[in-house]
Amino acid sequence: MKPLIVANWKCNPMTQAEAKRLFNLVRRRVKNIKNAEVVICSPFVYLSSFKFQASSFKLGAQNCFWEKGGAYTGEVSAKQLSNLGCKYVIIGHSERRRYFAETDEIINRKLKLALSAKLNPILCIGETKKEREQGKTERVFKKQLEGGLEKVSNSRFQVSRTCIAYEPAWAIGTGNPCDAEEAQKMGLLIRKIITKLYNKAASKKVRILYGGSVNSKNAASYVKEVGLQGLLVGGASLNAKEFIKIVKEVS
Ligand code: PGA
């Protein structure tokens, strides 16, 4: 399995010219990389201006709507993203859970529509600092995985097309990453829960990524040292040089 490196630009940059520049810089340097899959999750508004895709370089979105489409002002559907050429969509990011009150039920509806639109969902889960201190991490994982994956079957490889990003809220944007050994432990716990929900064969196919203050210095530790299957990169993905370095470190 090739490592999956996902850039999450969040609500950046502010102009199309900057977005294109960043996209093209990264594209030029990573398009020929064979042993990693790179996904750029840009704001919706820029997606249609990025024409180029290759087998190792793909487009993704940061969110999608929980209904198929219709009279829902301001929303973007999974099908629209797929028709635009997106291959991935981030679902249930902690910033969406926190600032947009997304529940596991909403996240589950989005995830199922993403799968039916042939997108590969990247389901984000993770505990807050408080939950970790209170020893609730496993309970949080269970709730978020059971809720997020409810009625997602294993037929037609539905679940195995889903990636799980372990993103502890306390490590996101803080410069205080979860260390690789701990991320590995959390990855094993996630896999154990998925095995219980499905079976070993299905669970084996699910890629587990780490996200939270990833940079070019720590990137390799998560993938090469402890064997996670990829990274979700926020802040560092806005700096082309740094992001390219991350991709090179793990590929
Ligand atoms: P960060 O964000 O790399 O800036 O910590 C990661 C994320 O939120 O996906």
Tell me the average pLDDT of the chain: 96
Among 41, 172, 217, 218, residue to substitute to test ligand 1 (most atoms within 8 Å of Cβ): 172
Name the residue at shortest CA distance from atom 7 of ligand 1: 234
Per-residue pLDDT tens digits for 67-83: 999 999 999 999 999 99
pLDDT of residue 155: 78
Asked if residue 121 lies in contact with residue 114, where contact means CB atoms within 8 angstroms, the answer is yes
Asked if residue 1 lies in contact with residue 207, where contact means CB atoms within 8 angstroms, the answer is yes
How far is the C-alpha of 210 from the C-alpha of 222, rounded, in Å?
7
Mean pLDDT confidence for 106-120: 97
Mean pLDDT confidence for 58-66: 97
Distance 7 CA to ligand 1 centre (A): 9
Helix (H) or strand (E) segment spanning residue 231: strand 230-233
CA neighbours closer than 13 Å in the CB half-sphere of residue 183: 35
pLDDT of residue 34: 87
Say how many Å lie between the first and final Cα of the chain, rounded. Answer: 11
pLDDT of residue 53: 64
Measured from the Cα of 171, ligand 1's closest atom is: 5
The backbone torsions φ and ψ at residue 104, rounded to the nearest 5 degrees and listed phi first, read -60, -30
Query: What is the pLDDT confidence band of residue 228, given thresholds at 50, 70 and 90?
Result: very high
Would the CB of 230 count as within 6 Å of ligand 1?
no
